[in-house]
Amino acid sequence: MTRARLAIATALISAAAFSGQAAAQAKEQFVPVNSYWVGPYAPGGSGIAAGMIDYFKLLNERDRGINGVRITWEKCETEYRNDRGVECYERSKNKGPTGATLIHPLSTGITYSLIEKGTTDKIPVVSIGYGRTDASDGRVFPYVFPLMTNYWSQNTAKIKFIGMKEGGMVKLQGKKLVNLYHDSAYGKETIPILETQAKMYGFTVTHIAVPHPGNEQQAQWLQIRQVKPDWVILRGWGVMNPTALKAAAKIGFPRDHIIGVWWSGAEEDVIPAGQAAKGYIAAGFNAPGADHVVIGEIQKHVYAKGQGELEDKSRLGTIYYNRGVLWGILTTEAVRKAQERFGKGQPMTGEQVRWGLENLNIDDRRLKELGAVGFMQPLKVSCMDHEGGGAVKFQQWDGTQWKLLTDWIASDQSIVRPMIEASAAQYAQEKGITRRDCSTEK
Amino acid sequence: MLYREAGQFKSTYAEDQQIFPIRQDRIALAVFLAFALLVVPVIGNQYWLGALLTPFLIFSLAALGLNILTGYAGQLSLGTAAFMAVGAFMAYNFVLRVPGIPILLAFVLAGICAAAVGIVFGLPSLRIKGFYLAVATLACQFFVLWALQKFGWFSNHSTSGVITAQQIVILGYAFDTPARKYLLTLGVVAVMALAAKNLMRSETGRAFMAVRDMDVAASVIGIPMMRTKLLAFAISSFYCGVAGALHAFCYLGTVEPEAYSLDLSFRILFMIIIGGVGSILGAFLGAAFITLFPIFLSLASSWVNDLFGVEISHAVVSNLESIIFGGLIIFFLIVEPQGLARLWQITKEKLRLWPFPH
């Protein structure tokens, strides 16, 4: 009998622990933090998750949440794998009094897997600076938000920057570019737009693929040495980045002619390459450094009380950590906007947050209030345009830290937007989706 | 006491040769299948159906395929995920390019394509064995993934190489909810598992086992080596191809070639090692263990967090998973090389004597 009683007691305790969260109908806003703390991309995943959670903690500590609604979260390890990402999403989507607020997949592959699921479950899929580029057309993808900037926009900004460096866009005529990309969905996204721009401006571009994970690049850099390009665009991720820089140093290619995308422009990408990385330029949509007001606030209200997520405090102010803070800002601003319409001080559902995301308008005044002037660009999202920003800053690694080279360089939407609309229209036709009419919606 | 076959007399050959000769076994299986078919879709929530049971069924089908090749025919293969990728992409292409094709026919054709690829990469098995054959199948794994990425035809020239599987409509009935996808997967897996079990009890299966045990002796007594080995590759790849098609259509919905990496091939190999090589039930037990255990670990860490307030870092949990799997594989290979299936068999044998100890 005692054994049976013990078994029943264990079962009851487990059941209580399992359902404990659902019982409390407090005023809470639940945000799933599905990221990766292991594997080759762990620095990015852990940094972004830490930044986002620290920002939530800051709001909870300093402002009692968003108008009194405390933010709660739960971490889930996706290991950068699609099936784990889907499993984490399914596990977390119904937690909290109103379900998951939105989902940050933190991986292009997982974003693709979640687009249909998020649309069916009415949970916005927010892919900041990655994900499915043609989801910028909000008429076809109502629940997908590639905020801040997407791959194609940043590519046009990059070509603008190269043109700037060369002394004018006309000087691009006849120049040779190499696109060294990570052989994955993420890596291949910019090939069509580079081809379009090559035709437009008269430069030639050679696309060279690096198979995942990218720690063997001898063959690729030998090919680059044969091509003798003027510029190399590094579209890498994880360990591919420092390997590329070391290989470039070996063949003597000047690092200040290598332009990395924003997933190749963090401290973890350059420090392992040591001296080889000096002079390397990368794009970014959030500024580096710990001397921003919002980072100072996090240090004052969260780390001073020993509540910070980062075990290694020197990571405060690094690119990925700041990016996570940006994630947190966008998440909470969307909830705040949704509350303006659907009830201030109430927890918001995914559907309501979708409206909040679509009507997000973070202008310079709001940036000042947030303490994020210069940290992130102003953002205006609309039904037609789920990207909202499109500009990037360029920074250069001087051996110890990233130094900003430019201010915000806008993208060339005249090239990007028609391609996005064409691609979205093809998707809509394949799936039988009718495009929303933005003028009729409020 | 409960598991005795006293009073069950077989009067025909068919009764004597059936897969489950003991009536209690048949009743238990019928109850289990009825539960899986009728009760689970009703009581299961989306998380259980979509993220746990469906992938469990799909990977048990893939593990079944690998078990036929490695467990029954003795040909070590590391290309399982590549065959799944072929199945997934070819099913997508058949549905895309042949208008109005029934989806089950597309799955079968995709399986046949995977079988063709399997035969091509199984040709080295006529010359090399064991570890060296594993390396040859490794070549298959890398080559197939490269080909799927290089030739845009496979992904319908999408810029990112990601394909979105079409909706499944059979006889006008759309399989779009997790419950329906689960039922479709369960039906396909049940039918194919039955086919595999019967195949392994037939002459083909005995030929496979003869090749596994001592292929020289097998060829001496007249079993044709080329035909038998290539048939093993073909059947195994067919199963993996159908599993891959189900993986794309009923589980993830969007697939890219990286999802079928070498990592997945190793996972399926671990499934059959832990579950039991050379056993149909072993494929299911191993797949259940490998798909559900990591989720159980992370759920357990969150329970520990709720109950005791101690936060176990996710990095620790993920790495713990790898450590435990590695440890278990070594444990099983030393202590019980025939895996969980053998443990189940021992349980049944003890059950026959219960409540007596011997």
- List, in order of start, the domains of chain B with CATH numbers: 41-353 (1.10.3470)
- Please answer whether residues A152 and A190 qualify as being in contact, where contact means their C-beta atoms are separated by less than 8 angstroms: yes
Q: Is the pLDDT of residue A26 over 80?
A: no
For residues A271-289, average pLDDT = 89
Three-class DSSP category at A217? coil
A194 closest CA partner among A224, A154, A226, A165 = A154
CA–CA separation, B301 vs B288, rounded Å? Answer: 20
Q: How confident is the model at residue A23 (pLDDT cuts 50, 70, 90)?
A: very low
A279 burial type by CB count under 10 A (0-12 exposed, 13-18 middle, 19+ buried): middle
User: CB contact, 8 Å: A351 with chain B?
Assistant: no
CA–CA separation, A360 vs B211, rounded Å? Answer: 67
Q: What is the pLDDT of residue A7?
A: 60
Q: What is the pLDDT of residue A442?
A: 60
Q: How does pLDDT run across A213-270, given as a tens digit for each residue?
A: 788 898 999 999 999 999 999 999 888 899 999 999 989 999 999 999 988 888 888 8
* Residue numbers in B near A91 (CB within 8 A): 47, 51
Shortest Cα distance, chain B CAs vs residue A140, angstroms: 16
Which residue from B47, B254, B258 is facing A90, i.e. has the nearest CB? B47
* Residue numbers in A near B302 (CB within 8 A): 74
Q: What is the pLDDT of residue B302?
A: 79
CA–CA separation, B16 vs A94, rounded Å? Answer: 51
User: CB contact, 8 Å: A97 with chain B?
Assistant: no
For residues A181-203, average pLDDT = 88
Q: What is the pLDDT of residue A215?
A: 85
Q: What is the pLDDT of residue B26?
A: 93
Question: Bigger pLDDT: B78 or A134?
Answer: B78
Point out the residues of chain B with pLDDT beneath 50.
none
Arithmetic mean of pLDDT over chain B: 91
CATH 3.40.50.450 matches A152-284+394-415: no
Q: How does pLDDT run across A409-427, given as a tens digit for each residue?
A: 888 888 888 989 998 888 8
Q: Which of A12, A76, A83 is the best substitution to test chain B (most B C-beta atoms within 10 A)?
A: A83
Q: What is the pLDDT of residue A22?
A: 45
Which residue from A86, A113, A188 is facing B159, i.e. has the nearest CB? A188
Q: What is the pLDDT of residue A83?
A: 85
**B318–A77 CB contact, under 8 Å:** yes
Shortest Cα distance, chain A CAs vs residue B223, angstroms: 42
CA–CA separation, B33 vs B230, rounded Å? Answer: 33
Q: How confident is the model at residue A21 (pLDDT cuts 50, 70, 90)?
A: very low
Q: Is the pLDDT of residue A107 over 60?
A: yes
Distances (CA, A) of B298 to A17, A38, A92, A102, A244: 14, 14, 13, 21, 35
Which residue from B258, B307, B319 is facing A184, i.e. has the nearest CB? B258
A71 bridge partner residues: A29
CA–CA separation, A437 vs A343, rounded Å? Answer: 26
Q: How does pLDDT run across A323-371, given as a tens digit for each residue?
A: 999 999 999 999 999 999 998 888 999 999 999 999 999 999 999 998 8
Tokens of A195: 């081809």
Q: What is the pLDDT of residue B217?
A: 95
Which residue from B46, B162, B315 is facing A112, i.e. has the nearest CB? B162
- In chain A, domain spans: 26-149+289-380, 152-284+394-415
* Residue numbers in A near B46 (CB within 8 A): 90
User: CB contact, 8 Å: A23 with chain B?
Assistant: no
Q: What is the pLDDT of residue A216?
A: 87
**A185–B160 CB contact, under 8 Å:** yes
Q: What is the pLDDT of residue A25?
A: 56
Q: What is the pLDDT of residue A290?
A: 86
**A113–B313 CB contact, under 8 Å:** no
- Please answer whether residues B87 and B111 qualify as being in contact, where contact means their C-beta atoms are separated by less than 8 angstroms: yes
Which residue from A13, A74, A113 is facing B254, i.e. has the nearest CB? A113
- The CATH homologous superfamily to which domain A26-149+289-380 belongs is Response regulator (3.40.50.2300)
**A115–B254 CB contact, under 8 Å:** yes
Task: Please name the residue of chain B whose CA is at the shortest distance from the CA of residue A90.
Answer: B47
